[in-house]
A and B are shown apart, each in its own frame.
Chain A
């Protein structure tokens, strides 16, 4: 007992044995689930770099050998997807910036509103996070197609921008839609962060004679840099991966303005079935941007998910 030992006066030997057995079982399970989560991905990648013949002959998860290896599928998929990659990025980036900025502004503004009104507005924001988008699809389609055909109005203007084609105008309503429906979740994420900051920071700013805008720009924005990282990564992943709005507003997988998610389910399909080498290549390519972000900023991504709950 005189020694600083955490096990104290227990029977150390039996404890070690016990721990070891349990440890082994624990690690075995960890590895099993590692397989569970990685096998579909690994299989996909292996299939992507195999020739059709090799796909048919070898085990799906086995790596290609010799003649069975090809980059042809990936090359082909890349050609098919390159236009839609561009579409996805020029849609996702402004939409992410817009919703993140608005979310931060709304969360900051709400802290200035008296408690009762704040709760009311907050409820509306939270419900906005959970609303099934099906409930707004018909109005959305009608609004952008019939009532306010912004895409058609902007087409000549967009066509005159270098690197852009007229059809890219179809992405403008999509960007606005993503911003509007992204505001609730971004607001909630930022709000939880601003609530963790001491009230006295904003109050000190007021006493110092700073305007509300100055407090936002000089105090709140610099302090919330880490949170901007979290929300940006979370929201970019959401928008890039999104399908339903694009599906509603950009008609058809063969539309030139279609983002990646819209094109992917149609790639490599023919009357004779699906060419899985090509489909897996395309799936892998489509996932690359979010996978890179995820691998680089896994902690931020997890934090975004945690805060959402």
Chain B
């Protein structure tokens, strides 16, 4: 059996007897403390910027702060929220935002999936094509807005060139309020569908090749193979791409501003983000715009909250 020769010399230093000094020294030497500068500094900086900012914004949204001067925190109420929710501008911006969110996200996902499947198998230089398809993603929204402004131009834009060649009357893409939002969605899809393609391609590549081969041996056609076997396995990729796209649709501001170079985007394309920035920086209605921003944030959290919970449950964080 085990020997106990050294029992006596150590019994006086069992856990209870270990001085607080060595426990303190151990704590100070622990990974948690010694790695603190690494995670601590970025964490604090980020927290102040993101969560401090959100909190401050939240506080301002309860005041009546406007124009120059400082916010007055003595009377806090929900006035700005009720005012926003009952204003036509807010409601129409919210509607536009919803159309943008649903239309843009859906089409981007479908087109991205289509492109991914198109390039996944049997195409030479597939990587080169991917690079081209993804290229718009590397451009600033400011740049793409200029390119599409020219594409949508009533007199000499390419779209109208196509339309008139087909024998129709030219369309005022950005000037007609009932078409403008569709035109904006179209341009944004041009920019983003490469992104969804890349996400789907990564998903496709993680599916082992034998599944294609097994389906081939079973006699399934390529299209059936994709529809029945491959696409159902892309759920995770769809969810994460959809979250990114929806959050983008909520905060999209730059593209709309850069199309016209002013606070008010083309008629029929005003969304919450543009309304918020306009109210704040053009009219100085700080509290009012802070309230809109808070609601925008809550909507974004409504998208990412369930997503994060799902990721956490999956253990994939």
B198 touches A34 (CB 8 A): no
Q: Is A132 interfacial (CB 8 A cutoff)?
A: yes
Q: Is the CB of B134 within 8 A of A124?
A: no
Contact present for A261 and B140 (CB under 8 Å) = yes
A279–B146 CB distance below 8 A? yes
In chain A, what residue has the closest Cβ to B299? A132
Q: Are A241 and B139 in contact (CB under 8 A)?
A: yes
Give A110 to B70 CA distance when docked, in angstroms: 39
B46 interface residue per 8 A CB criterion? yes
* Complex: A38 Cα to B222 Cα, angstroms: 29
- Cross-chain contact B151 with A40 (CB below 8 angstroms): yes
Would A136 and B57 count as touching, CB distance under 8 A?
A: yes
Is the CB of A226 closer than 8 A to any CB of chain B?
no
Restricting to A267-309, which residues have a CB under 8 Å from any CB of B?
269, 274, 276, 279-280, 282-283, 286-287, 290-291, 293-295, 298, 301-302, 305-306, 308-309
For A103, list chain B residues within 8 Å (CB).
Answer: 42
Asked if B36 CB lies within 8 Å of chain A CBs, one says yes
What does DSSP make chain B's interface, helix, strand, loop or mixed? helix
Given A60-B150, A130-B300: A137 touches B199 (CB 8 Å cut-off): no
Indicate whether B157 reaches chain A with its CB closer than 8 angstroms.
yes
Chain B residues whose CB sits within 8 angstroms of the CB of A255 once the complex forms: none
User: Nearest Cβ in chain A — how far from B46, in angstroms?
Assistant: 4
Q: How far is the CA of A141 from the CA of B71 in the complex (A)?
A: 13
State whether B131 touches A298 (Cβ < 8 A).
yes
Is the CB–CB distance between B115 and A60 below 8 Å?
Answer: no
Assess whether B141 is in contact with A241, with CB atoms less than 8 Å apart.
yes
Closest A residue to B150 by beta carbon equals A276
Across the interface, B147 reaches (CB within 8 A) one of A22, A44, A261, A294, namely A44
Q: How far is the CA of A55 from the CA of B36 in the complex (A)?
A: 60
The answer to whether B199 touches A113, judged by C-beta atoms less than 8 angstroms apart, is no
Contact with B along A90-115 (1 / 0, CB 8 A): 00000000000011011011101110
Query: A134-165: which have CB < 8 Å to B?
Result: 134-143, 146
Instruction: List chain A positions with a Cβ less than 8 A from chain B.
Output: 22-23, 26-27, 29-30, 33-34, 36-41, 43-44, 47, 55-56, 59-61, 102-103, 105-106, 108-110, 112-114, 117, 119, 121-128, 130-143, 146, 177, 179-181, 183-184, 187, 211-212, 216, 237, 240-244, 247-248, 253, 261, 264-266, 269, 274, 276, 279-280, 282-283, 286-287, 290-291, 293-295, 298, 301-302, 305-306, 308-309
Excluding A37-B194, A113-B32, A212-B35, 17 further A-B contacts by CB distance (< 8 Å) are A37-B132, A39-B151, A60-B158, A112-B34, A130-B247, A132-B296, A137-B277, A138-B60, A138-B286, A140-B53, A243-B258, A265-B142, A276-B153, A279-B149, A280-B146, A293-B138, A305-B199
